[in-house]
Structure 1
Amino acid sequence: MSFLRPARSIRLKIGLVFSATFFLGFAGAALYVFEQVRQVLIQQDNRTLTDRASRFAERTSVYPLVIPLPDRGEVVSLEYTTGQVSKKLYRSPSFPAPALALTADSVMQQDTFRLARVVRATDDGYGKLTVIVGRSSQPLTRQLGQIGWLLVLTLLMSMTLSGLGAWWLSGWLLRPLRAIIDSARSVNQAEHVTPIPTPTTGDEFQELAHTINDMLARIRQAVDTQHNFFAAASHELRTPLSILRTEIEVAQRETINERERHFLTSQLTELRRLSRLVDDLLAMSQLRAGTLQLRPECIELDDLTLHLTERYHRAIKERNLYLAIQLDESSSSFTVLADQDKLTNVLLNLLDNAVKYARPQTQLDLRILSQNGIIIWSLANLTSVPIPDPERLIHEFYQADVRHDGYGLGLWISHQIVRLMDSSLTLSATQDTFRAEIRFTSQ
């Protein structure tokens, strides 16, 4: 799913950048609007409160003493000053502490009240009347809080909608790139170099597709040239190598001295190595080109294994190794469907690797088991050095230990052949044990 893609995807980055930019811009604008609205409401409330104090002062009389009743929720303080003498005429019971900071015609916050002060001369002209009218600031605070929450909710909803819109828009803009990625991935999985579809958007994506297709065309030409060379060289080399091998084997049967026999034996060993390399290169070119032919038939895996271990008995003995074979006694048959020649090459390759890389004077464990309709052929050996990444052994031209003979093709070819036979080859390793396991479907 798109939402589960890694955080480094371009689409998610575009959405995050767009949302963050929108959030910062809208948040700044919202703060500015809120501050302007707050000032307007406070100024309006100050004018209303000052007007109320002025009217209250106009309706108040000292001689005779007339004090109007305050409205509900209002608090009032009246003070008459003449010369140096001040006299409190009236103060509401809930009036807050004296507001010393209040000057004439000013408004301030005192505790939970907003107070407005008005000073006017009395009618007789001998004194001054100071009127302070206040009321609770909670209505104004509540109104400002509602406006603030409304702006916050608007910001969150707008940011969410903008993020979703940016996500959809970036997905629409990056759709050609996603098609290019999917096509390139299918090319990689199929191991075939095929062109990717070219979008008709007329932008950088179309130019990218053209560039990638040009690169793929050159890669395909190089790969085809390589396969053709391997196939042609393998065919051309097999005949002279076979002739040389036959001539040396015939020469060994003639009457020759020990020095000549040792020389011919060494040459025959090298010819066999070259022949195996040529066969591997030919198999690799056929596998890459998809022209390797299989002739599946029912094979008794236990009989084939015992026959091959007999052929490897001498090599096992020369390395001072011991072979232990275990067959699943609960299974009456180990019949599998496979190409006998190709399967023989695979098993010989696994045996050869086990003998070549096993620690001297240790045991090889070969098992054939049957589990839930699956026949498991496994071979384990103790290694001299640990193998950190056994899965890389199924890659062509890779060797875990370059000190041994080989070209890194055997396990790759075995893996490809087993895969073509609808089976699986798994390589695993612990600290000192290497295991090769093939899983067949029981017939």
Structure 2
Amino acid sequence: MHRIPDWLRPSRWGLRIRSAIAAALVVGAVLLLAAGAMLGLFNRSLLREIDAAAGTRADAIVGELTRGSLADLPTSLMEATGQIGVVQIVDAQGRIARDSNPKLTAPLLNPATVSQPESGRRPVSEYDEDLRVSARTATTPEGRFVVLVAGDSEPAENAVKRVAALIAVGGPIVVAAAALATYLLVGRSLRSVEAIRSRVAGIGSAGLSERVPVPVARDEIARLAVTMNDMLARIEAGHEAQQRFVGDASHELRSPLAAITAALELARDRPEVLDAELIGGTLLPETERMRQLIEDLLTLATADESGLDVRGEDVDLDDLAAEQAVALRARDGYTVRTDITAVRIRGDRPKLARALRNIVDNAAAHARETVAITVSRDGDRAIVVVDDDGPGIRVADRERVFGRFVRLEADRARATGGSGLGLAIVAEIVAAHGGSVTIGESPWGGARFVVDLPVGVDQPIADAP
């Protein structure tokens, strides 16, 4: 079996060639159908004219015969002129009583078959098939006559053939012109696509601020260019966020790692100082800080890659809130107010506990002395509110604080040792449960965190393993 060359495979042809061939096929098919219909109508129109002329001559002869005799019939009515090829008058015995050509000895039609006016009949086999016979009967004092007038259709056939020849010559030219025009127009349209492609090919990681040219015409290519620019803007923003994330993570890890390294170097040079105080006061806290930071980073990386995997189980939010209130009361210097209503939802208990702990820890870190925790239910929604009496959060910063490694100005940034990832993790956990977290102003002018969760989670949640 012979293998088809690659250049003959339509899948290997470019868009311009495929479009040109498609245009040629479509135009060719339409032209062929239109030409066939036009030639058919043209031929039928010419034949109707021939039949009309023959019928008119036959009616005129019948009119003269009914008013006079056969001998008085004007000679002009018996002449074969123009579209009229043969004129015959046949008597009741089937004999030609008068005709336009004495050499024709047989009637064009069998008189016995003519009973009513007819047009467009084919003559008997003795005559050329190009003749179209119109027949009329005339009853006169001299008897019954059949008037036969034949029109010659050969000129009409020649006219149709000439038109068909012109179409056969001009049709391929029209098809070729359509294919060429399509090829050129598609090529012109693809210039914008090529400009977009070449610009995108030249954009590297160091030049993500560049954008592709947008054509003036507001068509699909212009929309493609706008969409490409939007995508480049998102990639640039993501790249910048990734760079900031890596830089911030490196900075956060450098501090505990430096403290651990310094302590170990001190213990190496002076083994006698490696005691419980150094281990418990420096090594273990800094190690725990670094461990917590790494866990936070892994949590956010998992959320970015495939979303947080939350388990589906019954969770009592009131119990989680009460646990955080007890833990906060155990610290010195805080007044904890609670208004907790029993609310049970479906969710992941460890992750919800972590989110609530992060919010309460944030409130405690910035409160002067009071933190309030409220749990309530509003229809099919569970509402958790955490208030503090700290400096609060400006409206412009209330969305930004859920970003990663975000710390606000010093009036709300006491040295808490936090990494700036806690609220980002809260946002991811709450979103994974189909809820939302917003920030407002507490009754004491501080920050108010409001967590809104569905009692029955709307989206599917994987069962606990």
* TM-score (structure 1 length as normaliser): 0.42
* TM-score (structure 2 length as normaliser): 0.40
Q: Choose 1 or 2 for highest CA Rg.
A: 2
